[in-house]
Structure 1
Amino acid sequence: MHPEPAERDTVAGLGEFGVIERITSGRPQSGSTLLGPGDDAAVVAAPDGRVVASTDILVEGVHFRLDWSNPRQVGRKAIAVNLADVAAMGAAPTGLLMGLACPADTPTEVIDGLTSGMWEEAASVGVGIVGGDMVTAQQIMISVTALGDLAGRRAVTRSGARPGDVVAVCGRLGWAAAGLAVLGRGFRSPGAVVAAQRVPTPPYAAGPEAADAGASAMIDVSDGLLADLGHIAEASAVSIDVWSDRLEVHQRLVDVASALGADPLHWVLTGGEDHALAATFPAEAVLPPEWRAVGTVGTGSLITVDGRTYDGPSGWEHWRHP
């Protein structure tokens, strides 16, 4: 008995192993993949002898909406948010594991788009999706685990900042927040900020570069600059002061904020999902290209902007936001 034509166009029609074949067939793997999909587990090279590992879960309706983003964009975002965490440790990615949950009536074109985006983003840093799992669920959920190699470097954690260090950032800030504000008002333009919300562009190579330059602490800016610098401050038992005049507030953000009656600096300070990198460096360190100094580390435990406590939420936190 064969499924009806309409059913064949869904994951139920393909079945679990048909979906797996559709996701993995013909996809190239990198040299770090010693054994890829098809066995009980993958085998990935770890030349350094240590493995950096990070996992993120993206849930439909919380992290993405298919009326705001197409499946390919969601797939790219799912990979990017994990690769940014590996970069923030000073490591280079070596492989990815993917978990996918979705309803039985999910169209195969959605799965094709998701996986196409995932493989595209993975290929941008020269790695492959080496394995994973899939189950049925009431909504689409994507779990990605990224693996990385430190290549002899020390891992750059959140706990190494010291008074006198310089705070620096690499990558865009505030763009995804501006895009979210635009989409939330029912608009689809300006395209540049909307695209930033749909697909982040983390500066992957900047993480290892910062580690080589002597970064004392580093973090992926996923929840907002102030919120994530707060994690460094807490872990390092220091205070951090951000200089607002050193932050880049792009004219595009100014224009969008003016149209929406918003504050563009607030987006830069508290907006998440750009996945820029923030780090602290000893005062004598030479910052790598594209990193820019935006603050300083001191004693105490406060996060301030221009010497004053920031008024309002500092970023996103699950369960404390609707």
Structure 2
Amino acid sequence: MAPQPRSGSMQQNHLGGEGLLNGLLRDIGERRLIELVSSYFETQEEDCAVVELGGECLLLTSDMLHEKSDFPPQMTPYQMGWSLVAVNLSDIAAMGGEPLFMVDAIGVPPEFSVEAFKELLSGIHSCALRFGLGVLGGDLDAHDEITLTGFVLGVAREGRVIRRSGAKVGDLLCITGHLGSAGGGLRLIEREKDVDLSDPLVKALFEPVPRVKEGLKLSGSGFVTSMTDISDGLSVSLADLSRASHVGFEIDWERIPVRSELFKVVEDADDLRSLLLSAGGDYELLFTVMPEGVNELRQVVDFTVIGRVVEKNAGERVVPSGYDHFKVEG
């Protein structure tokens, strides 16, 4: 028997009426589908599930990657395996946790070569080893396309879990690293037949580096009030923080850090802003900080202040335009 939400009206409130529930998933979109899932299982919309256990909190997350939607033709099996681990670790980092263990499910076509399979495993092993993650096993099956699923268990001390819901008016809006690099890399491989795979933008797309160490330092500082990762684009992450914390944001677009290489794939300032808002895959951390803690926090983490938290309806209206697994383009 299918699980039922606590009330039928909950589904209507999330999805705007019964009509959409009888339509197609692509008509609803990923974000509203997540709201529907949350209504059935009474879960919170966070980067990880949180289970309080004694004086610690267990963090649980799972992500799935598919050949058609996530692995461009130029991507190697090693990079596929690396990305599987990285995408899951980014969720742990987004809540300030320490990753512990991973199990994965690997679906590959029977005609996949043994050498390619060994390369895929090497990518999983390398990323896990770099971040101290133990890989305990999982499942292996034949599949029509390469499909990789990971489940990661992490831990955080009670009181150090950083959620999306703690931002306060007056806090500063910050990010780690550069934005738009992975999106720029995608543009490069789509435009150039013989793209240089060592290009920093392509590397950012094919071998993303989750901000695990930064997440731990941010959560331990006591100054960070909310946090998420930028996996599906800045606009989506801003909307997630805004909805959870019931606040708005004023953004200083000129202060958003980008790699110099990015300017070779954007046409003008408007195109750059559009790319920063909508391109996913950067796996940087977006977080809010108490103003009095910024200088001290800079001593342990490299980040950029890109704006501030304002009242819910006082900031810029940013429409979520990032990656959506269910929307059909064209």
Q: Give the alignment's TM-score, normalised by structure 1.
A: 0.78
Pair 1:299 & 2:311 matched: yes
Amino acid at match of 2:228: I
Q: Which residue of 2 aligns with 1:264?
A: 272
Q: Is the 8 A contact 2:99 2:154 kept in 1?
A: yes
The answer to whether the 8 Å contact 1:234/1:301 transfers is no
For residues 50 and 157 of structure 1, the distance between their equivalents in structure 2, rounded to whole angstroms, comes to 12
Aligned length: 270
8 Å Cα contact 1:175-1:274 kept in structure 2 = yes
User: Shift in Å at residue 185 of structure 1?
Assistant: 1.8
Post-superposition shift, 1:129?
0.7
Amino acid at match of 1:272: G
Q: 1:212 matched to which residue of 2? A: 220
Go from structure 1 to structure 2 and tell me whether the alpha carbon gap of 1:136 and 1:49 turns closer, same or farther (over 3 Å shift): same
Q: Deviations over 1:174-199 (max 9, x none)?
A: 00000111111243137221121111
Match of 2:129 in 1: 123
Q: 1:69-218 alignment to 2 at 5 Å?
A: 69-187=75-193, 188-189=195-196, 191-213=199-221, 214-218=223-227
Aligned to 1:18: none
Give yes or no for contact 1:239–1:300 (8 Å, CA) kept in 2.
yes
One-letter identity of the residue aligned with 1:115: L
Q: Detail structure 1 runs of 4+ shifted over 3 Å in the superposition.
A: 46-49
Give 3-state SS (helix, strand or coil) of 1:133's partner.
strand
More displaced 10-residue stretch of structure 1: 166-175 or 278-287: 278-287
Partner secondary structure for residue 112 of structure 1: helix
Structure 1 residues 178 and 47, CA gap change in structure 2 (3 angstroms): farther
Residue 290 of structure 1, aligned match among 302, 306, 310: 302
Return the alpha-carbon distance in structure 2 between the equivalents of residues 127 and 196 of structure 1: 21
User: How far is the alpha carbon of 1:302 from its aligned partner?
Assistant: 7.0
Report the residue type matching 2:70 in the other structure: H
**Residue aligning to 1:42:** none
Shift of residue 103, structure 1, vs aligned partner: 1.7
- The secondary structure found in structure 2 opposite 1:248 is coil
1:248 partner amino acid: P
Structural RMSD (CA): 2.2
Task: Write the distance in 2 (CA, Å) between the matches of 1:315 and 1:244.
Answer: 17
Cα-to-partner distance string for 1:87-138 (whole Å, 9 max, x where unaligned): 1111011111111112222211121111100110001111221121112211
CA distance in 2, matches of 1:249, 1:156: 26
CA positional deviation for 1:261: 11
Q: Partners of 2:67 and 2:314 in 1: how far apart?
A: 35
For 1:139, give the aligned amino acid.
E
2: CA distance between counterparts of 1:211 and 1:283?
A: 16
Give SS of 1:193's match.
helix
- In the TM superposition, what is the alpha-carbon distance from 1:266 to its structure 2 partner? 2.7
Matched, 1:319 2:308: no
* Identity across the alignment (%): 29
- The structure with the largest helix share of the pair is 2
> Greater CA deviation, 82-91 or 185-194?
185-194
1:226 aligns with 2:235: yes
2: distance between equivalents of 1:240 and 1:133?
A: 43
**Partner Cα separation in structure 1 for residue 315 and residue 323 of structure 2:** 16
In the TM superposition, residue 47 of structure 1 has moved relative to its aligned partner by: 9.2
Q: Is the 8 A contact 1:72 1:118 kept in 2?
A: yes
Structure 1 CA distance for aligned equivalents of residues 86 and 120 of structure 2 = 13
Where structure 1 has 5 or more consecutive residues not aligned to the other structure, the ranges are: 1-45
Residue 241 of structure 1: which of 228, 236, 250 is its match? 250
Amino acid at match of 2:240: H
C-alpha contact (below 8 Å) 2:96/2:161 kept by paired residues: yes
- State the AA in 2 paired with 1:185: R
Partner Cα distance (2:246, 2:120) in 1: 41
Q: 1:239 and 1:140, CA in 2 relative to 1: closer, same or farther beyond 3 A?
A: same
Q: Specify whether residues 178 and 147 from structure 1 end up closer, same or farther in structure 2 by C-alpha distance, changes over 3 A only.
A: same
Q: Cα 1:83–1:64, aligned 2, differ >3 Å: closer, same or farther?
A: same
Instruction: Indicate conservation of the 8 Å contact 1:233/1:303, yes or no.
Output: no
TM-score (normalised: structure 2): 0.76
Cα separation, 1, equivalents of 2:243 and 2:305: 20
Unaligned stretches of 5+ in structure 2? 1-52
SS of the counterpart of 1:134?
Answer: strand
For residue 297 of structure 1, what is the amino acid of its counterpart?
A: V
Deviations 1:55-102 (A, max 9, x none): 00001110113x210000111111101101101111011111111112
